[in-house]
Copies of this chain bind each other. A is one copy, B any other.
Amino acid sequence: MEVSQAVEKLMALQSKMSAYRHALSILYTDGVTVAPKETTANRSHTMGILNEEMYKLSTGEETISLLEFLDGHKEELTKKQARMVYLMLKSNRELQKIPMDIYLEYQKLLVEGDALWHDAKEKSDFSLFAPVLGRIFELTKQMAAFVAPEKDPYDYWLDKYERGLTKASCDRFFGVLKERLVPFIAKIAEKPQVDDSCLHGDFPAWQQEKLAYKLMDFIGIDRGHCALSTTEHPFTTSYGSHLDVRITTNYRPHKVDPSMFSVIHEGGHAMYEMGSAEDLAYTVLDGGTSMSIHESQSRFYENILGRSEVFTAKVLPMVRECFPGKFDDVTPEQFYKAINKVEPSFIRIDADEVTYSLHVMIRYEIEKKIFAGEVAIDDLPALWNSLMKEYLGLEVPDDKHGVLQDSHWANGNIGYFPSYALGSAYGAQFIGKMRADLDVDKAIEAGDFAAINAWNREHIWQYGSLYEPDELLAMLLPEGFDPNVYVDYLIEKYSKIYDL
């Protein structure tokens, strides 16, 4: 076989895999948006079959020998082609180690798990979700043991979402946050609370939706390639390639900011996905490289830009327009402070920027304990509630506001949570680089996100998955990643707001 022929086959293979991914993404999205309630089994049937086809395609003999052949001719490949082969071989070698029945059971389980989680959350009854969650964790552990028997299973999953991440490095990272942020939060609690009453009231979904579209336009999301819909828990997904991306939000009837910042958050994910170089479409390099780099973008737009003084000042007139009369007497300063109110709360995605990391830490501690066999699935609500009490001083009223609050575990995203906090910390260090090249505040002030988005595209988005997250970090932060930069940023920002 000629190398050029093999490369053609490689591209066709990836193209076909992107079609299956597209089908699976849209089926998933349907299930969590508009699908009728009793259609889960039908959808699960279809997704099971398509997953099986994709599994066969990715692990078939023909694929393996193609990849091995190309791997043997690395030096004749472009950088991008070589990276495709590397990634596919890697996931192939991993997949090959997982028995097909386990793999298929896991895929089916996630479909059922999502439906059961929805139901359990609605009824605030963890027992409805516990059996399937138990099985998800069991299979998660089993898969880790099949793929990397030499590794601690939780380390395997941490590394899967973020190359190089381990319990040890997480412990160090959260250590810095805990050491410097916990006392800082205590200081804030002693100061008079900011008034966020302007964010409470009646906000009809259709008006919130209008605002959501304004925000998408404001931060420069191309709506010709990105649509918005509503789900219980907001998420971003791409349909086969970066050319079609969907984000979702959830409108709370009595609080205006959760959906606003969900839309900006998912918008950050969406722009990262959509920013891949054109020639990465329908390849495994299309889309973001890792969860924490993804979160560095989503939380960059949501918090570092979105919750800044200059951004909230630009957004206030839009909010006024969408909710006539309601914000007439609110000053930009009041609005800024309301948006940045620090107060321990039950739901992670509603959490303020400062207490947010503690929610992540709780999830990390629980996952560590589950993997270590130190807690039974049935005891998770109790463990959750006791950690919420310990770190945030809150009494969790029910599972809906506790362990059932989001769909991550139902969707198999285990070992994923640390990336939320890591991403925030990366973003805080990235903005220093961006500010060296352009006047960020002035651009926002001018309502012009083109330069900001172009910077991110040039330094991060265009590469898709061409670089590992640690390679990308080394390119962006030659001085190395330092969580103290993030903590400095938080302390400086919130000291001003709370007059500390």
Contacts and interface: CB of A to CB of B under 8 A. Distances in A.
Contacts of A41: 243
A277 to B, nearest CB: 16
A224 B15 CA distance: 35
Contact of A36 (B30, B36, B50, B225): B225
A46 interface: yes
Interface in A190-248: 206, 222-227, 229, 239-241, 243-244
A43 interface: yes
A53 B52 CA distance: 14
A305 B359 CA distance: 57
A53 B37 CA distance: 30
A49 B223 CA distance: 25
B244 A43 contact: yes
B244 A39 contact: yes
A226 B36 contact: yes
A22 interface: yes
Given A16-B49, A45-B15, A46-B23, A34 B229 contact: yes
Contacts of A37: 224
A13 to B, nearest CB: 11
A26 interface: yes
Contacts of A243: 38-39, 41-42
B50 A23 contact: yes
B227 A34 contact: yes
Nearest to A51: B19
B15 A49 contact: yes
A323 B224 CA distance: 35
A18 interface: yes
A372 interface: no
A168 B224 CA distance: 48
B19 A225 contact: no
Interface in A439-464: none
B39 A239 contact: yes
A226 B30 CA distance: 13
Contacts of A223: 36
A394 interface: no
A45 B26 contact: no
A45 B30 contact: no
- Sorting the interface of chain A by its residue count into under 10, 10 to 19, 20 to 34 or 35 or more gives 35 or more
A282 interface: yes
Nearest to A37: B224
A35 interface: yes
A20 to B, nearest CB: 8
Contacts of A27: 22-23, 26
A154 B425 CA distance: 67
A104 B116 CA distance: 39
Contact of A49 (B19, B30, B244): B19
A22 B20 CA distance: 12
Given A26-B26, A27-B26, A39-B244, A18 B46 contact: yes
A482 B284 CA distance: 60
Nearest to A242: B42
Contacts of A229: 34
Contacts of A15: 45, 49
A35 B227 contact: yes
Contacts of A281: 42
Nearest to A39: B244
A27 B36 CA distance: 17
Contacts of A30: 26
B240 A36 contact: no
B23 A244 contact: no
A119 to B, nearest CB: 13
Identify the interface centre among A36, A37, A38, A243: most chain B CB within 10 Å of its CB. Answer: A36
A251 B23 CA distance: 29
Interface in A161-182: none
A26 B43 CA distance: 11
Given A19-B45, A22-B27, A206-B206, 7 more contacts: A18-B45, A22-B42, A23-B27, A26-B30, A39-B239, A43-B239, A53-B53
Interface of A: 15-16, 18-19, 22-23, 26-27, 30, 34-39, 41-43, 45-46, 49-50, 53, 206, 222-227, 229, 239-241, 243-244, 281-282
23 contacts: A18-B46, A19-B46, A19-B49, A22-B27, A22-B46, A23-B26, A23-B27, A23-B46, A26-B26, A26-B27, A34-B227, A36-B223, A36-B225, A36-B227, A36-B244, A38-B224, A39-B225, A39-B239, A42-B281, A43-B240, A45-B241, A53-B53, A206-B206
